[in-house]
């Protein structure tokens, strides 16, 4: 896997032609069908189930979070040590642990996902940093609602974020454009257009989102979000961002992040959470 580190640090993202093979792409599409029907292979539901067949709004982008807990093939992809190493090296960490995956499906006609910055949702752990790998399971196009990045936006000011609406806002770029205006900049928005199996890496402060799917093609994506292997819970932030969901895994008297729920994918001393290889060997 070759990632352009210079491009990542200059632009806040880097596009990669190939992240998973054709066989894995085909198999993952079948697993998406099962997951969104509520068929969880392991018997453990994902941490967030935002859409299910029969009850979900057909105009929304379908989403599950931490599908790796529910499906062994999803786990085999997102727990890959090579992806963990790539993210750790891009972020300058000694290692990487998974915080969350996203199982995303935007069928034809589905509405947008609002522009946001991942780090803004993370006051519940420190360091408040995330790096992300975005894997396309279908060929992506700008008209098909692929992810868009605002080039260089990881260098914009942080602090109080403009109001953000994640699911189906009327103007998905509005908060990013507000932030760009505060910087005195005209944003340079770049869509990620790759073949199935390709994707991208992006910085936790990079503004990104996606427009409506105006094509006749489905857009399925598997996303891996990592933090530093040294990350620890930050209790004052438990009530903010997505802290109420994931802080339930904290221990009463210890701020360590339990590797059962936040396993270490790769560390520069060779360490990796036990038993992960039995999952990733499925590929």
pLDDT tens, per residue, the chain with 283 residues: 789 999 999 999 999 999 999 999 999 999 999 999 999 999 999 999 998 999 989 999 999 999 999 999 999 999 999 999 999 999 999 999 999 999 999 999 999 999 999 999 999 999 999 999 999 999 999 999 999 999 999 999 987 777 778 888 889 999 999 999 999 999 999 999 999 999 999 999 999 999 999 999 999 999 999 999 999 999 999 999 899 999 999 999 999 999 999 999 999 999 999 888 776 655 5
What is the phi/psi pair of residue 96, to 5°? -135, 140
Q: What is the distance in angstroms between the CA of the first residue and the CA of the last residue of the chain?
A: 16
Report the pLDDT value the prediction gives residue 159, as an integer from 0 to 100: 77
DSSP per residue, 103-154: EEEE-TT---EEEE-GGGG-TTEES---EEEEEESS---TTTT-EEEETTGG
| Whole-number Å distance between alpha carbons of 105 and 148 | 16
Task: Give residue limits of the domains in the chain.
Answer: 5-280
Determine the Cα–Cα distance for residues 84 and 82; give it in Å rounded to an integer.
Answer: 5
Q: Provide the pLDDT for residue 282.
A: 55
For 5-280, the fitting CATH number among 3.30.210.10, 2.40.240.20, 3.40.50.10490, 2.60.120.620 is 2.60.120.620
pLDDT at 32: 97
pLDDT reported for residue 276? 82
Residue 100 has what pLDDT? 97
pLDDT at residue 279 in the model: 67
Give the C-alpha separation, 153 to 117, whole Å. Answer: 9
Q: Catalogue the E-assigned strands of the chain.
A: 13-16, 48-49, 62-65, 95-106, 113-116, 125-126, 131-136, 147-150, 189-191, 199-203, 208-210, 219-228, 232-233, 264-267
268: which residues sit within 8 A by CB, 6+ positions away?
88, 94, 95
Query: Would the pTM of this model clear 0.85, i.e. be above it?
Result: yes
3-state class percentages of the chain: helix first, strand second, coil last, to nearest 5: 25, 25, 50
Task: Return the sign of the alpha-carbon dihedral for residues 170, 64, 271, 259.
Answer: positive
Q: How far apart are CA 147 and CA 150, in angstroms?
A: 10
Return the structure tokens found at 50: 């935002």
pLDDT of residue 272: 97
């Amino acid at each position: 896997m070759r990632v352009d580190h210079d491009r990542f640090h200059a632009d806040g993202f880097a596009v990669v032609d190939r992240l998973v093979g054709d066989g894995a792409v085909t198999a993952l599409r079948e697993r998406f069908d099962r997951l969104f029907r509520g068929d969880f292979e392991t018997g453990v539901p994902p941490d967030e189930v935002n859409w299910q067949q029969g009850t979900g709004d057909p105009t929304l982008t379908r989403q599950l979070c931490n599908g790796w807990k529910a499906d062994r093939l999803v786990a085999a992809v997102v727990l890959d040590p090579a992806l963990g190493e790539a993210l750790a090296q891009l972020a300058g960490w000694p290692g990487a642990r998974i915080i969350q995956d996203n199982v995303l499906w935007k069928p034809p006609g589905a509405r947008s996902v609002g522009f946001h910055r991942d780090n803004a949702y993370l006051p519940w752990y420190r360091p408040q940093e995330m790096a992300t790998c975005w894997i396309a399971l279908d060929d992506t196009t700008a008209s098909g609602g692929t992810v868009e990045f605002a080039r260089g936006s990881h260098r914009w000011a942080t602090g109080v974020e403009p109001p953000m609406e994640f699911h189906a806002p009327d103007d998905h770029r509005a908060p990013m454009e507000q932030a760009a205006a505060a910087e005195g900049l005209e944003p340079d928005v770049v869509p990620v257009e790759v073949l199935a199996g390709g994707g991208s890496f992006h910085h936790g402060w990079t503004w990104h989102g996606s427009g409506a799917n105006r094509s006749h093609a489905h857009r399925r994506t598997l996303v891996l979000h990592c933090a530093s292997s040294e990350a620890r819970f930050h209790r004052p932030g438990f009530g903010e961002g997505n802290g109420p969901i994931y802080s339930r895994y904290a221990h009463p008297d210890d701020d360590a992040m339990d590797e059962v729920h936040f396993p270490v994918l790769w560390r520069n001393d060779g360490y990796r959470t036990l038993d992960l290889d039995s999952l990733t060997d499925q590929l």
